[in-house]
């Protein structure tokens, strides 16, 4: 996969988090102070790496006094840093601990890693493991090729389901109604001239991918990116992740990439599906 538009996606995600938190305020088990603290952390992204207290309050929908209390608490806990001169806040390296805990504890990542490493060595292409999160997919493991075009996709990067090979692979293994509901949550638009983005075309592409057991996306999110993917299934046959091989159009024609890599991703995804049943 080429690279992520994480600034835009993260900005939208921050808005959804704030709105979602207010919508869930009637939940008797919801601890709103915890939800607000995570809203503060989620407000920082590539477009907003540092913020003043006023900016932070506006970003998370809190009054300045409340934002100050949450920011101070998170600073004392080590998750935020306040510049003594500018008084602007930024995330600290400690926030990476949450992602590190996920990587060490997630059984899918653990089971998939040997297969990803094998594909990386045998193909010398970029290998990704992604999982679905609503209408987006999230990168949870990534083995880079020496031929990689862009390196700004990192663990935790998000992309839309509808215009990525892993996303289409995931959608193709869902019941049509569920897939349609997820597509309707997406902001369907063309990222490149090659993007499949009209609903009827996407449904046809998903149907084709379901029939052949893998999905492709050729320069649909970024130019030069050729990707072939297959879904990883749980014991009930539901998609829990996707594996993809990504290469460059400077090195392969789309048909050549599909012919070469489709059997590999299908075989690897099947092996991971059989091995990746959670304990207990």
Residues 27 and 126 in one domain: no
Which residue segment(s) compose the domain that 178 sits in?
A: 106-275
Name the β-bridge partners of 14.
Answer: none
Diameter of the chain by CA atoms? 60
**Spatial separation of the C-alpha atoms in residues 241 and 196, rounded to whole Å:** 21
The answer to whether position 170 is within a domain reads yes
Same domain for 115 and 234: yes
- 86 and 119, same structural domain? no
Last residue of a domain, one of 46, 78, 97: 97
193 and 253 fall within a common domain? yes
Q: Work out how many domains the chain is built from and give that number.
A: 2
* CB distance 169 to 214 below 8 Å: yes
Is residue 33 in a domain?
Answer: yes
CATH code (residue 125): 3.30.450.40
Query: Does the residue 260 lie in any domain?
Result: yes
Count CB atoms within 10 A of the CB of residue 132. Answer: 20
| Gap between the Cα atoms of 33 and 60, Å rounded | 13
Residue 147: per-residue pLDDT: 78
The answer on 126 and 90 residing in a single domain is no
Same domain, residue pair 46 and 11: yes
Quick count: other Cβ atoms within 10 Å of Cβ 164?
28
Q: Which of the listed residues 35, 66, 97 is the one where a domain comes to its end? A: 97
- Report angle CA 191, 161, 262 to the nearest 5 degrees: 95
Note the pLDDT of residue 105.
Answer: 87
Of 68, 97, 126, the residue that ends a domain is 97
Q: Are residues 138 and 69 in the same domain?
A: no
Give burial (CB, 10 Å; 0-12/13-18/19+) of 153. buried
Do 81 and 54 sit in the same domain of this protein?
Answer: yes
- Do 74 and 147 lie in one domain? The reply is no
CA-to-CA distance for 149 and 171, rounded, in angstroms? Answer: 27
Q: What are phi and psi of 42, to 5 degrees?
A: -70, -15
Alpha-carbon distance of 271 to 25, in angstroms, equals 43
Same domain, 71 and 171: no
Beta-carbon contacts of 219 under 8 Å, excluding residues fewer than 6 positions away, are 192, 194, 225, 226, 249
* Same domain for 173 and 58: no
| 62 within domain boundaries | yes
**Phi, psi angle pair for 189, to nearest 5°:** -160, 155
280, part of any domain = no
Residue 22's pLDDT is what?
A: 46
| Rounded Cα gap, residues 29 and 143, in angstroms | 40
DSSP characters for 91-135? E-GGGHHHHHHHHHH-HHHHHHHHHHHHHHHHH-SEEEEEEEETT
Rounded average pLDDT per 10-residue block, the chain, 280 residues:
36 40 67 94 94 96 96 97 96 92 89 96 96 96 81 87 98 97 96 96 98 97 94 96 95 96 98 73
Instruction: Clarify whether residues 197 and 227 are in a common domain.
Output: yes
Look at residue 122 and tell me if it is in a domain.
Answer: yes
Predicted pLDDT at 151: 59
pLDDT of residue 10: 36
Q: What CATH number does the domain containing 89 carry?
A: 1.10.10.10
- Rounded-to-integer distance, Cα 222 and Cα 247, Å: 12
* Rounded Cα distance, 126 and 246, in Å: 5
Residue 1 in any domain: the answer is: no
């Amino acid at each position: 996969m080429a690279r992520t538009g994480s600034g835009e996606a993260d900005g939208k995600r921050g808005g959804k988090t704030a709105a979602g938190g207010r919508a869930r305020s009637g939940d008797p088990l919801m601890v709103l102070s915890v939800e607000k603290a995570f809203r503060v952390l989620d407000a920082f992204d590539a477009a907003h790496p540092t913020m003043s207290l006023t900016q932070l309050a506006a970003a998370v929908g809190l009054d300045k006094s409340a934002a100050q209390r949450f920011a101070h608490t998170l600073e004392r806990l080590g998750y935020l840093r306040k510049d003594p001169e500018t008084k602007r806040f930024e995330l600290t390296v400690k926030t990476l601990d949450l992602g590190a805990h996920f990587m060490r504890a997630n059984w899918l990542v653990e089971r998939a890693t040997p297969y990803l490493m094998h594909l990386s060595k045998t193909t010398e292409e970029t290998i990704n493991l992604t999982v679905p999160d609503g209408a987006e997919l999230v990168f949870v493991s990534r083995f880079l090729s020496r031929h990689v075009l862009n390196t700004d996709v990192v663990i935790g990067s998000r992309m839309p389901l509808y215009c990525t090979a892993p996303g289409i692979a995931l959608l193709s293994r869902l019941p049509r109604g569920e897939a349609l509901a997820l597509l309707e949550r997406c902001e369907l638009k063309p990222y490149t001239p090659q993007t499949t983005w009209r609903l009827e075309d996407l449904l046809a592409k998903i149907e084709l991918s379901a029939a052949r057991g893998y999905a492709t996306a050729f320069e649909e999110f970024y130019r030069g990116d050729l990707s072939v993917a297959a879904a990883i299934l749980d014991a009930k046959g539901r998609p829990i992740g996707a594996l993809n091989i990504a290469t460059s159009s400077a090195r392969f024609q789309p048909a050549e990439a599909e012919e070469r890599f489709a059997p590999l991703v299908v075989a690897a995804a099947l092996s991971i599906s059989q091995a990746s049943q959670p304990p207990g």
